[in-house]
A and B are shown apart, each in its own frame.
Chain A
C-alpha cells in the first residue's frame, strides 16, 4: 500500500530552467510534508517542508506547493543548477506523529543538463 507516490522515476531539465517534481499521497491523516535530496553513495538530506496549514513554502530557489484537496504537492527549483542533479524523495507524516510515522515516496531522479 503505497501511501506516498512519486510517479515520475526520472526527470531531465536544462540548466537555468524550472524543475518541477511531483508527489501524490492517499492518506488524509497526513498533514506535514518534507522533501529530501539524495546524492549517490550518500544519505538523504532534508531540503524543505510544509505544514498543511500553508499552501506554499519558499526557501531560496526551492518552493514547495501543497494542494490538500488534490492530495498533491510539488517541489519547484528555479533556476535549476547542475548541483541539483540528485534523487528527490517526498515524505509525509501526521503532525504529532513525527518521524516514527514518516512515509517516503520512491524518489525522482533529477538530471540537470548543462
Chain B
C-alpha cells in the first residue's frame, strides 16, 4: 500500500521531446513537492504546491511545469528536454505546517539522450 507513488520508474527519451511524470499520494497530505537529485547527489526542491499556492524554485527553467488535477496528485511536465535534465526526480508530500516531515516516492530516473 504505497503512500507516495510515482510513474514511470525509468524514463529514457531524446532531446527535444516532451514528457510527464505522474505522482499520487494516499496520505491525505495537503502539500506536494517535486525534488531533483542531480549527478552530484544534491537533492533540491523544484516546486511545492498545496491547493492554495504554488511555490516555484526560481532556478527551475520554465520548461518544467507542475500540474495538480486534485489534492492527491501532482504531475510534472517537462517540455523540450535537454541533456542536463537527466537526473532522478522525486515526488514528496507532507502535512501543512513548517516542520512536517516529507514522505517521498521512489523516484523516476530520467535519461535524456
Contact = CB atoms under 8 A, between A and B. Distances in A.
Nearest to B94: A99
Interface string A11-33: 00000000000000000000010
Q: Which of A49, A93, A96, A106 has the most CB of B within 10 A?
A: A106
Nearest to A104: B43
Interface string A72-93: 0000000000000000010001
A43 B92 contact: yes
Interface in B49-86: 55
A66 interface: no
Contact of A100 (B40, B48, B105): B48
Interface in B12-65: 31, 33, 40-45, 48, 55
Contacts of A96: 98
A43 B90 contact: yes
Contacts of B33: 99
Interface residues of A, number: 23
A104 to B, nearest CB: 4
Contacts of A106: 40-42
Contacts of B97: 98
Given A100-B48, A100-B55, A44 B43 contact: yes
A99 B44 contact: no
Given A43-B92, A100-B55, 19 more contacts: A32-B99, A41-B106, A41-B107, A43-B4, A43-B104, A43-B106, A43-B107, A46-B102, A49-B101, A95-B98, A98-B98, A99-B31, A99-B100, A100-B45, A104-B42, A104-B43, A104-B44, A106-B42, A107-B41
7 nearest CB pairs, A to B: A43-B104, A46-B101, A98-B98, A104-B43, A106-B41, A100-B48, A44-B104
Interface of A: 32, 34, 36, 41-46, 49, 51, 89, 93, 95-100, 102, 104, 106-107
